[in-house]
Amino acid sequence: MEEEKGQNQLEGYYLTFRLADEVYAINAIKVREITRYQKVTRVPRLSPVIKGIINLRGTILPIFDLRVKFDLKTKVEDTKAMVIIVEILGRLMGVLVDDVIDVIYLDDSSLQATPSLSPKIKADFIKAFGKKNDDLIILLDMDKILSLEELEEIDAVNEA
């Protein structure tokens, strides 16, 4: 019964995006804005996951790269890349992705719990898997995507 309750909390609207050849989704409630990629100012000595900062209409926002976070091959700056402005644990920041696809609704029947993985694999940021048409979609928990150290670095950038 507890598992059903957890699944009900997952049902809802999700923003889907592409990263390499995979489709990912984040809860649409977390999304504040979507913008085209713009030049990022690199801040020295930050973790490679944190790409740098951008100035979005007068607000300085840290940007992190999901390709680096997921150990995928990084791309040379791409004019098709998009930045999804999200709220993570009360902080606004940008997430660099290859392309934004659509907002979709996933109901209980299209959701599947995350299978048990090896304890060596840190995947607590994966909420569940969704299915839409023939696509398997990885649902991300944005509040768990960054490590404590990465969040502290972002906080330091925001305070500077």
Q: What is the pLDDT of residues 79-106, one digit of tens each?
A: 678 999 999 998 899 999 999 999 999 9
* DSSP 8-class letter at 4: H
What pTM was computed for the model?
Answer: 0.85
- Residue 64 lies in domain: 2-159
CATH of the domain at 47: 2.40.50.180
- Tokens at residue 20, please? 């390499």
- Cβ–Cβ under 8 Å, residues 81 and 96: yes
Sheet of 31-36, strands arranged across: 31-36, 82-88, 91-97, 59-65, 50-56
- Residue ranges of alpha helices (H) inside 34-122 are 66-69
Total structural domains within the chain:
1
Q: How confident is the model at residue 120 (pLDDT cuts 50, 70, 90)?
A: low
Q: What is the spatial distance between Cα 116 and Cα 123, in angstroms, rounded to a whole number?
A: 10
